[in-house]
Amino acid sequence: LPLIVVALADGLAGRVTAAAGSFWNLEFDAGIVSVLVFGAGTNYALLLISRYREELQRTEDDRVALSTAWRKTVPAILASNFTVVLALLTLLFATIPMTRGLGVPAALGLLIALVAVLFVLPPFLAVCGRRVFWPFIPRPGQEANQGRAWRAVASHVSERPVASLLAGLALLAVMATGLFGTSVGLDQLEKFRVQSESATGLEMLSAHFPPGEAQPIWIITDSEAAGEVASAASEVEGVVRAHPAGTTDDGSLTKVMVTGEYSPGTEQSLAQITELRDAVHPISGAEALVGGAVATELDARAGNEHDLLLIAPLVLAVSFLVLLFLLRSLVAPVLLLLVNLASAVAAIGAGAWLSRVLFGQQALDLQVPILAFLFLVALGIDYTIFLVHRARTEATRLGTRAGMVEAVAHTGSVITSAGIVLAAVFAALGVLPLVTLGQLGLIVGIGVLVDTLVVRTVIVPAIFSLAGDRIWWPGKLHARQGESTHESRTPSIDVH
């Protein structure tokens, strides 16, 4: 049932985002939007249905159980959705068109998924009642058995927080070592997972003509300075020849064709573009512009580096503000974001290493680091919110340490299920012919699994166990009446 609702939302999102892209002239990959809608929508649906099952174990009235489940999960679902939506909208500040164009369509798609889960799915659940869980229909009185295995795991972590935290961080550190030796940028022959006609053509050109003949460098200049520009370009190291190759209809501009001896996409060819620009830009009156496929590649690398340095802090800031608002704490958001950042870096490292070792891809494509970081941080905050929002709720009743154990017990299965589904959805990108999407799917899939199985199960509970009530600072803590004042008590949190 939830998959049907999410699939309908995905279909509607596809039409809406296509219309939005056409209206605003946006460049974006519809496959990435579909994966985000399906993955996030499934996450929201699983959280709601899991809480519905839990409430059905407490009451005979199906409608009361659904109403309670909806009311208690809405804050977490809204916070999760708005975090990812706001993170995606930071892409509007990107300079690369394909990156910038993804922000609005993806945000629209996630808002459609949110509406579908919160307002379309519940009526179907109300009609089906308990029968929606057939053959494992929940009954009142089964709550005592809720999450027994996850409670045992969380209790073990709580009893040995230092060892658990060190083990989890060590795993992330080992994964992050995959970044060593990783480069960014694929040439045209490496961008397709399967052989393409264009790649075959480039290989034939490279085999029978000078390497630079396949993708010549073009310089646009004022016609009066064309000879001087061609002469200056010829003196640059690695240039085989440079000559005028045509003018505009009015004769004011001339294009100069430059053939280099380096294979396109190599570091030597990229450095040659910089040297050519240094050589022709100072020529008085030329107003020369150096372009072509290799120049575009160089500019794309610079643009993606700029976007990563700009977007990454914005994504972290958005995530911090949402956690700050939701948890009303300064300590918890900072620690959770640091863990989330470490998890994202580890996933990128592991994905880069697997790409080299298993698939022979010596570099990540240009867009992969920024998109992988965005998705890993934003989607990782999803699971953080699901877990920590429940932990805060339980802490008001049981105290911080016991509250986290209870939160893991109740959310462990749903977070793991959601993570597996999301990882599988992103893994589906691997069947597409573009290496970019395959690398992105691999990295995000690894990151989601690590996030659900290690970060939310081991690292975060260990941090909460070590920090205790201080995790909620500056929230005020007070001992419940009749309890011991010893540190091991289970304090409640004054949320007012």
Q: What pLDDT, in 10s, does the model give residues 7-57?
A: 999 999 999 999 999 999 998 888 889 988 988 898 899 889 988 988 898
- Asked whether 110 and 81 are in contact (CB, 8 A), the reply is yes
What is the pairing mode between strands 363-364 and 183-184?
A: parallel
CATH number of the domain located at residue range(s) 153-213+306-496 in this protein: 1.20.1640.10
191: tokens are 């961008």
- Asked whether 455 and 380 are in contact (CB, 8 A), the reply is yes
SS3 337: helix
Q: b or e along 275-284 (b: 16 or more beta carbons within 10 Å of the residue's beta carbon)?
A: bbbebbeebe
User: For residue 328, what pLDDT band results from cuts at 50, 70 and 90?
Assistant: confident
Contacts of 114 (CB under 8 A, 6+ apart): 41, 44, 77, 78, 81
When pLDDT is averaged across residues 327-348 and rounded to a whole number, the result is 93
In the beta sheet, which residues pair with residue 221? 254
| Angle, CA 193 vertex, CA 192 and CA 199 arms, to 5° | 40
How far out from the chain centre does Cα 291 lie?
Answer: 32
Contacts of 446 (CB under 8 A, 6+ apart): 347, 350, 351, 354, 423
**Does the domain made of 216-291 have the CATH classification 3.30.70?**
yes
Question: Alpha carbon of 144 to those of 15, 57, 414, 474: distances in Å?
Answer: 45, 9, 17, 34
SS3 107: helix
Contacts of 282 (CB under 8 A, 6+ apart): none
When pLDDT is averaged across residues 143-169 and rounded to a whole number, the result is 87
Give the mean pLDDT of the chain: 87
Which runs of consecutive H residues, i.e. helices, occur in 287-330? 293-327
How far out from the chain centre does Cα 361 lie?
Answer: 21
Boundaries of every domain in the chain: 1-146, 153-213+306-496, 216-291
Helix 460-467 and helix 400-427: axis angle, to 10°? 160
CA–CA gap between residue 127 and residue 1 (Å, rounded) = 12
Which runs of consecutive H residues, i.e. helices, occur in 428-491? 435-450, 460-467
Find the range with the poorest average confidence among 273-282, 345-354, 439-448, 477-486: 477-486
Question: Alpha carbon of 420 to those of 34, 46, 220, 241: distances in Å?
Answer: 17, 12, 52, 55
The two most distant CA atoms of the chain are separated, in Å, by 93
Find the range with the poorest average confidence among 40-49, 191-200, 310-319: 191-200
| The predicted structure's pLDDT at residue 215 | 83
User: For residue 186, what pLDDT band results from cuts at 50, 70 and 90?
Assistant: confident
The answer, yes or no, to whether residue 483 has pLDDT greater than 70, is no
When pLDDT is averaged across residues 435-454 and rounded to a whole number, the result is 91
Residue 338 has a CB neighbour count (10 Å cut-off) of: 12
How far out from the chain centre does Cα 188 lie?
Answer: 25
How far out from the chain centre does Cα 408 lie?
Answer: 24
Q: What pLDDT, in 10s, does the model give residues 96-115?
A: 998 999 999 999 999 999 99
Q: What pLDDT, in 10s, does the model give residues 116-153?
A: 999 999 999 999 888 888 877 888 876 655 678 899 99
The answer, yes or no, to whether residue 493 has pLDDT greater than 60, is no
When pLDDT is averaged across residues 392-408 and rounded to a whole number, the result is 90
Residue 129 has a CB neighbour count (10 Å cut-off) of: 15
Question: Alpha carbon of 425 to those of 43, 107, 117, 131, 460: distances in Å?
Answer: 12, 18, 18, 27, 25
Q: How many CA atoms lie within 13 A of 64 on its CB side?
A: 7
Which runs of consecutive H residues, i.e. helices, occur in 90-138? 97-100, 103-115, 121-128
Q: What pLDDT, in 10s, does the model give residues 235-256?
A: 999 999 999 999 999 999 999 9
The answer, yes or no, to whether residue 478 has pLDDT greater than 60, is no
The answer, yes or no, to whether residue 485 has pLDDT greater than 50, is no
292: tokens are 């072509």
CA–CA gap between residue 133 and residue 340 (Å, rounded) = 33
Higher pLDDT, 117 or 209: 117
pLDDT-above-90 percentage for the chain: 57
